[in-house]
Amino acid sequence: MTDLHRLSIRELTEGLANAKFSARELTEHYLKRIEKIDAQVNAYVTVTAEQALAQADAADALRQAGGAGVLTGVPIAHKDIFCTQGIKTTAGSKMLDNFISPYDATVVAKGKTAGLVTLGKVNMDEFAMGSTSESSYFGATKNPWALDRVPGGSSGGSAAVVAADLAPFATGTDTGGSIRQPASFCGLTGLKPTYGRVSRFGMIAYASSLDQGGPMARSAEDCAYLMNVMAGHDTKDSTSVEKDVDDYVANLNGTSLKGLRIGIPKQYFNVAGLAADVKARVEESLKKLEEMGAILVEVDLNMTEAYVPTYYLIAPAEASSNLSRYDGVRYGYRCEDPKDILDLYKRSRSEGFGAEVQRRILIGTYALSAGYYDAYYVKAQKVRRLIQQDFLKAFEQVDVIAAPSAPTTAYRIGANLSPVEMYLGDIYTIAVNLAGLPAINAPVGFDKDNLPVGLQLIGNYWSESQLLSVVHQYQQATDWHTKRAAIAEENA
């Protein structure tokens, strides 16, 4: 079969179960595409062809022996922030260019247990700080819809491999939008789960109170399959919550759109910088949901103006603490011929970290320093609580809240936005992380340049099944999620 890359995850599981193709054929098919097409998008940092074929053979043998699970033999790409035993994990940084983890992240281990075949590790903004994937030490990843555009970030590689059909689905992480915004820029579905739903063990830390892993794929159905693998309590992550996991696939039709109350925060649609096409497509998608039975209700989210300043204090503060471990001593990059220990720290960190990471370490260190801690960090934590309460008040009136995922479609590569301009692009995603809520991006059409636009739906705590179900039903009635970039139509 030459079009295996066009199959949905459900179709892949059925094809494998019915022996229409083997895990080896499927894996070879994807490896061939990666070899032919990836150079155009620069999404893979590492392709693990040999291990993938060995995993595929093991998957086929397991199936022969009658021991296969649903996903046994289905390929996946992992964001290069998830530690993989024996395979390098870079977090997009020179600092970790040669880092080989001695253990697997829980998400990776769960994938192996489910029989997933790892095709490789994919590009990202350095240490997940950014919105374009341009800050990677391994060069910018390109948007499959327009190669002169960014795929978004920080999970830009994950989005690009799915949009170019170089992997059927991928893991991502979302600290302030890094699953939802690249999903939006690349026309995909991406779910940021409730904080604590997915284990952070072995996921390289950016801002620990915000970081959360989740699935990126074409459809809500595809995401549900991966959520079934990723979700769950983990004794190795003290912030992962001991709470039963839903069967996200079985629940895909579990939420009725009839009478579902969708909140429309009026402040969100008055944001300066919200592109007219984005606004129009999002409003059209809400109209469609209304036709399908949902009720649109205006809600107030009064803290909107506080989102960017609050996030850009808390995230850099936690980053400056987390990244202090890269000292040139234990692991990671070490400078040549250090004069003394101070020189070793200074040069290893100046040479090993890129500009955006250094900027955030500086901001974060400043915000945490003795004289400023109360004025900045403590105050930001208080505002964070107010932001959370704002959402909880809205959820007294509505079931989900709708917003754009990003104010614009994909930027041009090299657009050279100032840091503040770039941060303002996170306006719609970061509050969700500050509050620890789940949210999903769904593709809802294109702008005048044929670039994808995304709708974001924000849910109350633990409502992942509901979010996936709402988007699934929307996707049963529309075909935006089936649209493919020209590069995905290329055959290997």
In this chain, which stretch among 176-184, 230-238, 296-304, 391-399 interacts with ligand GLN, using CB under 6 A? 176-184
CA quadruple 278, 280, 281, 287: dihedral sign: positive
DSSP 458: E
In this chain, which stretch among 158-166, 172-180, 289-297, 336-344 interacts with ligand GLN, using CB under 6 A? 172-180
State yes or no: is 178 an active-site residue: yes
Single out the catalytic residue among 101, 135, 136, 154. 154
Candidates 27, 178, 219, 473; binder of ligand GLN (CB under 6 A) is: 178
> Per CB under 6 A, does 268 bind ligand GLN?
no
CA quadruple 320, 325, 331, 337: dihedral sign: positive
Return d(Cα 285, Cα 280) in angstroms, integer. Answer: 9
Candidates 176, 354, 443, 445; binder of ligand GLN (CB under 6 A) is: 176
Among residues 416 and 482, whose Cβ is nearest to ligand GLN?
Answer: 416
In this chain, which stretch among 110-118, 174-182, 212-220, 470-478 interacts with ligand GLN, using CB under 6 A? 174-182
Single out the catalytic residue among 8, 22, 79, 285. 79
Residue 209 corresponds to which tokens in the numbers above?
Answer: 């109170």
Among residues 178 and 255, whose Cβ is nearest to ligand GLN?
Answer: 178
Cβ density class 1-28: b for 16+ within 10 Å, e for less:
eeebbebbbbebbebbeeeebbbbbbbb
Least distance to ligand GLN, CB of residue 153, Å: 6
Q: Beginning with the edge strand found earlier in the chain, give each strand of the sheet holding 452-459 in spatial order.
A: 44-47, 117-122, 75-79, 170-173, 213-217, 189-192, 439-446, 452-459, 400-404, 261-265, 295-299
State yes or no: is 79 an active-site residue: yes
Position closest to ligand GLN via CB: 178
State yes or no: is 154 an active-site residue: yes
Site string for ligand GLN, 179-218 (x = CB under 6 A): ---------------------------x------------
Question: Three-state SS across 210-249?
Answer: CCCEEEEECCHHHHHHHHHHHECCCCCCCCCCCCCCCCCC
Q: Please state at what angle helix 220-230 crosses helix 9-17, rounded to 10 degrees.
A: 70
- By C-alpha distance, which of 127, 124, 222, 239 is closest to 181? 124
Question: Which SS3 state, helix, strand or coil, does residue 50 take?
Answer: helix
Among residues 52 and 383, whose Cβ is nearest to ligand GLN?
Answer: 383
Return d(Cα 315, Cα 380) in angstroms, integer. Answer: 10
Site string for ligand GLN, 82-121 (x = CB under 6 A): ----------------------------------------
> Per CB under 6 A, does 158 bind ligand GLN?
no
Among residues 286 and 422, whose Cβ is nearest to ligand GLN?
Answer: 422
Return d(Cα 483, Cα 373) in angstroms, integer. Answer: 48
> Per CB under 6 A, does 177 bind ligand GLN?
yes
> Per CB under 6 A, does 404 bind ligand GLN?
no
Binding stretches for ligand GLN (CB under 6 A)? 128-131, 154, 174-178, 206, 315, 426
Q: Which residues are catalytic?
A: 79, 154, 178
